[in-house]
Each structure stands twice: as C-alpha cells, then as structure tokens.
Amino acid sequence: MQKQVIGTFFPEATFLLSVDTPEQMPPDRGAEVAFAGRSNAGKSSALNAISGRRMLARTSKTPGRTRLINFFAVDPSRRLVDLPGYGYAKVPASVRERWQESMAVFLGHRRCLRGVVMVADIRQSLGPLDWQMLTWCLDARMPVHLLLSKSDKLSHGAAVRALVAARRMLEDAGMAVSVQLFSASSREGVDEARALVLDWLGVDGRENKKNPGNKGRESGAYKQSRKNLRDFPRSGRRSG
C-alpha cells in the first residue's frame, strides 16, 4: 500500500545514461540532485528508496559497484544522479584522479545541480574523502544533506548518539550541512529525505517550469533549500 503512494512521487523515473567524463553528461538544463559518498555507503540503495523504485539504480555487496556517473530521468527536465563511490582501495590511481577531475567539474560547474545528498554509513566516522567532498560542495555553494545510512544496523539509542555527534562535528567544522538518520532497509528517514529531494527538484510547483535551468544556482528551489539547512548558522557557509 505504502509502495503505491511512494511510486506516485517518481512515477516516470527511468535510467537515462552512464557517463565516464563530464563532456558526456546530458545537457546542463533543468534540475538535478546527486547522491555522493564512500563506496558501499548505500548511495544506490538510498536513491532507490527515495524514488520508490527498488531496482532503479544497481546495488551490490561488492564495493565500487557504481563506477560511472549514472543519470536517471525523473521527468524530461529533472534528474537524479548516482555518483561513483570513492575510497575504494582497489581503484587504480589513474581512475581515482579521473574521478577527482570529474567531481570537480560536476560540483563546480553543473548549473542544474540543486543539491547533493551525501551518504555515509552510520557505523563509520566521516573519512578524509568525505570531508573533501563536503568542502568541494560547500565551496561551490552547493546545498548538502547528509544521510547517516544503514541506521537499522544500530540500536535506536546508538543511532541517535551518532546523529548528534555528526551534527556537532559538522557544526564545529563550520559546515552548514543538514543531517538525518536513514535506512533503505527499515525505511527510517525515507520520507524526510524524499521531501527534501522533491523540494530541490522543484516538484512542488514553485519553480518556473518553462526554463528552470536558466535560473541556475539562485533559483527558487535553491533558495528554499538553503532555508532547509536547519540547525546550522548561515555564517557557517564558506564564501570562497
């Protein structure tokens, strides 16, 4: 029953294309929300749970499964983007360097990108590459929402303690990032995350649907998402 309701949010979501380099990306128009995080953190599972389409993005027990940038069309002008996981030890240095370049281009220059959903396994602390990704996003003035994923793996008390600790750490680092508990398995936090993604994509109708891409980073959806970055002072955002 719940599935039917969920499905109505992304009824037309389909796989669009996989790309290896920024030049192959779809035209920079409309609105996009990207899922980023360490390899095996649960990005593809989160994308599926939020879209209500269980098999949309491929998930795997094997880390490093998503190697390309995968685009999914929500409708003709809106996309979800599954980014390759980072921190997978077996990836050769050349691939890692290409990934860094692609990410820098994607986060720094993609005008239709409205926000990044960062996914981090609740049982692991944020690593150097997570901090690098956060810094890139915030330097690009990109709204970031952090999902502490696989919350079903901890007791409720331990999960809440991890949430409080993550919020404090980000606040101490001066990073305006909203954080929540999330589990694709138990569905904890799925509705909350979906509401933000829909808001970023401008699905609530406030966006100018004729030409959303031209409004770039200062669109209504972007301004609204800034308001959603609750719990953190605006002064925490980096301006450079």
Q: Are 149 and 206 in contact (CB under 8 A)?
A: no
Q: How far is the CB of 161 from ligand GTP (least distance, A)?
A: 18
Question: Whose structure tokens read 């502490």?
Answer: 148
CA gap 42, 118 in Å, rounded:
10
Q: Are 48 and 55 in contact (CB under 8 A)?
A: yes
Note the helical H segments in 8-79: 43-51
Q: How far is the CB of 42 from ligand GTP (least distance, A)?
A: 3
What mask of x and - would describe binding to ligand GTP in positions 146 to 165, judged by CB under 6 A?
A: ---xx-xx------------
CA gap 231, 208 in Å, rounded:
29
- Taking CB under 5 A as the criterion, the residue among 40, 48, 66, 219 binding Mg ion is 66
- 149 counts as binding Mg ion under rule CB under 5 A: no
CA gap 146, 171 in Å, rounded:
13
- Choose the one of Mg ion, ligand GTP, none that binds residue 61, judging by a C-beta under 5 to 8 angstroms depending on kind: ligand GTP
- Comparing CB distances to ligand GTP, the nearer of 42 and 202 is 42
Mode of pairing for the β-strands spanning 69-75 and 14-19: antiparallel
- Taking CB under 5 A as the criterion, the residue among 25, 35, 44, 56 binding Mg ion is 44
* Site for ligand GTP, rule CB under 6 A: 37, 39-45, 59-61, 63-66, 85, 149-150, 152-153, 183-185
Residues lying near Mg ion in the complex (CB under 5 A) are found at: 43-44, 65-66
